[in-house]
Amino acid sequence: ADIQAVAENLDVEARIHERIAEMVRCGACSALCRVSSATSKRTREMVLRTMINFCKYFPARGPLAAAGGVRVCTTLAKSPNDALSHRAMTALARMLISVNPQMLRDHQLMDAVVPLLEMSRQEQDPLMQFEACMALTNLCSFSMELKEHVVAHDGIVQFEMLQTHQHNMVRRAATECLSNLVPCDAVFDKFKEKDGKLLDWWMQLSEEDSDFPTARAATGMLAMISCDPEIANAVIERGLIKRVLK
């Protein structure tokens, strides 16, 4: 009974976090990144599983990313083995959801965009899609170059598709990510098509009573794009002023 009690105590979340913190302090992040170059698929898989577990402890995400975790995951995300690539994408997204992009090099951030967009296309796993959008939202807050890189790889089209997802968390994350793509020219151009018809959709999202974060992101988008005279006129011509002020 005593042994069982000790074992159960070791599985308490706080104790798990203590162990991860100690491993990080002892250089486990760098060790994992070095081991990831092993030729054994099983070894690479265990490295990624460990990275995913580390990411459950928020303070470990920064050290893991800084030690080379982003580079490792963007490389392994290209694996033809689906299980391996999906784990790499998951670890990558969980690092980049909360890590300050400024602590990473520009090329690392750029390299992360394609695997994260691919992750957002995993229709069989809404959690992957949600986490990918969250990570990309964080990246798009960093620089205009990153925003343009996302747009160049069909990010706008992908996020617009996810705005109609059956899960509200995915819809919310996609809406927030699109909002963070302003002021890319491609975003303004989308709202100018078909006499500003897209404004009706975003207005509907801004009035989403059941999901305040989605409504807030949509309202922010409408406010930012209205600085363009052509779009501002479309808002007036489509009779949306009263709904905006409401």
Q: Report the alpha-carbon distance of residue 161 to residue 69 in Å, rounded.
A: 30
3-state secondary structure the chain: CHHHHHHHHHCCHHHHHHHHHHHHHCCHHHHHHHHCCCCCHHHHHHHHHHHHHHHCCHHHHHHHHHHHHHHHHHHHCCCCCHHHHHHHHHHHHHHHHHCCHHHCCHHHHHHHHHHHHHHCCCCCCHHHHHHHHHHHHHHCCCCHHHHHHHHHCCHHHHHHHHCCCCCHHHHHHHHHHHHCCCCCHHHHHHHHHHHHCHHHHHHHHHCCCCCHHHHHHHHHHHHHHCCCHHHHHHHHHCCCHHHHHC
Q: What is the pLDDT of residue 1?
A: 46
216 burial class (0-12, 13-18, 19+ CB within 10 angstroms)?
middle
Q: What is the pLDDT of residue 195?
A: 87
Q: What is the pLDDT of residue 14?
A: 85
Residue with tokens 């982003």: 70
**pTM for the predicted model, two decimal places:** 0.91
Q: Give the mean pLDDT per block of 10 residues along the chain (246 residues).
A: 54 86 96 94 96 95 96 96 96 96 95 98 96 97 95 97 94 96 96 92 88 93 94 92 75
